[in-house]
Amino acid sequence: MSFKSQKRILILAVAALLAATPQAFSGDDHDGKVKEAAAQSVKAGKVFDEIMHTPDKAIPRDLLADSKAIAVFPQVIKAAFVIGGEGGRGVVSRRTSAGWSDPVFFRAGGGSVGPQIGASATDIVLLFMNDDAVGALMKDKFELGTEAGVAAGPVGREASAGTDALMHAEIVSYSRSRGLFAGVNLKGVVIQPEDDLNQAVYNKNAHELLVDDRRAADDGTSIPAFPQSVSRYTANGSTNR
């Protein structure tokens, strides 16, 4: 084989290796992603605080106490679901033996969503009630109501969480639009990881983060804002379900 042929083979091999290797974020890209992630966590925490601030119109505390993970997708626009299916961005925090985990970043999308998502910006809250529901988050994507059973959640201090539908639901769902907070069945919403943010913040993907049993660390940034908000309303919660 000639030197020229050997050189050509080497160049092709190097090009193939580079194409197969995930590209690292540049410094500016990395900083931008971390800022995006922090903003998402802050927005989600603010939404959760606002919802829970009025107990008579909030998620019942006993339901929160039994949840294994909580997700908030702030200001989702219906057009984002229908046009391209990109949906909204949000965060998930999982209950660990030491407290609530670092926020893991996800997207909610899917073109089959009906009137549950209004024309105006809508906040979505999901409670994952058992280990199977949390396990669904570790997939590349999953659809509410198809791969995980979903039910509209009760609202208010005295609301009962013991109905048959809720007792068997893997995920309990809510939405808030124009100030009105209510339980809605979000069947058809597709959840998938936003791993460019997860990789930028933690250098891990969503699956790796969700199996990590660490509580959120106060690292001096806004990243832990969402689990800190959740902790304010679930500090004495059980994990019996």
Domain locations in the chain? Answer: 41-234
In sequence order, the 6+-apart residues with CB closer than 8 A to the CB of 11 are none
For 171, the enclosing helix (H) or strand (E) is strand 171-177
Measured in whole angstroms, how far is the alpha carbon of residue 126 from the centre of its chain?
A: 9
Percentage above 70 pLDDT, the chain = 71
Rounded to an integer, the average pLDDT of 164-188 is: 83
Percentage above 90 pLDDT, the chain = 46
Q: What is the pTM of this model?
A: 0.80
Diameter over CA atoms, the chain: 83
- In 21-86 the beta strands, taken as DSSP E runs, fall at 69-76
